[in-house]
Amino acid sequence: MSNLTLVIPAKNESQSLPQVLEELKIYDYKKLIVLKKNDIKTINSIKNFDCEILYQNNKGYGDALINGINNVKTKYFCIFNADGSFNPIEIDGMIKKLESDNLDLVFASRYQTNSGSEDDTIVTYIGNFIFTFLGNFFFSLNITDILYTFVLGKTENVANLNLIRKDFSFCVELPIKAKGKNLKLGSTSSFERKRIAGKKKVNAIKDGFLILKHMIYLYFKN
Ligand SMILES: Nc1nc2c(ncn2[C@@H]2O[C@H](COP(=O)(O)OP(=O)(O)O)[C@@H](O)[C@H]2O)c(=O)[nH]1
Ligand SMILES: [Mg+2]
């Protein structure tokens, strides 16, 4: 049986998620879909797939991921989007990197050699560049893509990080708290695909400010 669970946060993904699960059929990974109980359309769209569903306590991307990771029973977990933008073929390389370099967390990256994105806009590209710079400069994260959040890690070590951010600032809380606890972080190259269908939930301006505010908070808290 697989030692990896994919934690898949989903919000209004009835068009994309079935295709994502279809593509995942050839892999032996466990799948834990985290969504709200009232997201009936998405729930109905995946009825015939072999996956576990977890209803999140509150709302938000971070809330879904924290609930999800806390319910993973395998040695490893991987945050995996429901929109088709992550290519499952890359997961195996992430596990190999984690094991060969004895890391706690591997961050897939769109911004190093042999990588790229079909889903980036100029605004998200610049935003990510700035946040990655801040993460490396102020927190010594030494990663190349902070906001992508295609992350594979050791479940036990991450479940102990006391993650609390329920919104998209989870993206920076995870690496910063991991580094603060002396976990070992690394990166692998990734190619982000376009989302299959449906709408992007991130608002570049609103969520960008939320993320910046939380980074400043974490900097002065330590
Ligand atoms: N459960 C849950 N999932 C969410 C929420 N917001 C976004 N997601 C999921 O998180 C993933 C990333 O969101 P997306 O809109 O694609 O953001 P992007 O990848 O930055 O463009 C997708 O699988 C979404 O369905 C939320 O509030 N709750
Ligand atoms: Mg997306």
Sign of the CA dihedral running 18, 30, 60, 54: positive
The protein residue whose alpha carbon is closest to atom 21 in ligand 1 is: 200
- Beta bridge partner(s), residue 9: 34
Q: How far apart, in whole angstroms, are the C-alpha atoms of residue 216 and residue 202?
A: 20
Cα 100 to middle of ligand 1, angstroms = 30
pLDDT category at 189 given cuts 50, 70, 90 is very high
Cα 115 to middle of ligand 2, angstroms = 16
pLDDT at residue 82, as a whole number: 98
State the SS3 of 108-149.
EECCCCCCEECCCCHHHHHHHHHHHHHHHHHHCCCCCCCCCC
Mean pLDDT, rounded, for 69-80: 98
Nearest ligand to the CA of 37 is 1
The protein residue whose alpha carbon is closest to atom 11 in ligand 1 is: 81
pLDDT category at 220 given cuts 50, 70, 90 is very high
As a whole-number percent, the residues of the chain with pLDDT over 90 amount to 97
Nearest ligand to the CA of 20 is 1
pLDDT category at 1 given cuts 50, 70, 90 is low
- Beta bridge partner(s), residue 31: 6
For 144-185, what is each residue's pLDDT tens digit? 999 999 999 999 999 999 999 999 999 999 999 999 999 999
Buried b / exposed e along 31-63 (16+ C-beta atoms within 10 A): bbbbbbeebeebbebbeebeeebbebeeebbbb
Which of 6, 11, 12, 199 should be mutated for ligand 1, with most atoms under 8 A from CB?
11
Nearest ligand to the CA of 200 is 1
pLDDT category at 57 given cuts 50, 70, 90 is confident
Burial class (CB in 10 A: 0-12, 13-18, 19+), 8: buried
| 207 has pLDDT over 70 | yes
Cα 131 to middle of ligand 1, angstroms = 19
- Coil vs helix vs strand at 151: strand
Cα 184 to middle of ligand 2, angstroms = 26
Side chain identity at residue 142, one-letter code: N
Side chain identity at residue 59, one-letter code: K
Side chain identity at residue 72, one-letter code: V
Q: What is the mean pLDDT of the chain?
A: 96
Side chain identity at residue 84, one-letter code: G
Q: How far apart, in whole angstroms, are the C-alpha atoms of residue 83 and residue 157?
A: 27
Which of 12, 15, 80, 81 should be mutated for ligand 1, with most atoms under 8 A from CB?
81
Q: How far apart, in whole angstroms, are the C-alpha atoms of residue 43 and residue 184?
A: 36
Which residues approach ligand 1 with their CB closer than 6 A? 9-11, 13, 34-35, 56, 59-61, 64, 81-83, 85, 195, 200-202
Cα 114 to middle of ligand 2, angstroms = 20
As a whole-number percent, the residues of the chain with pLDDT over 70 amount to 100
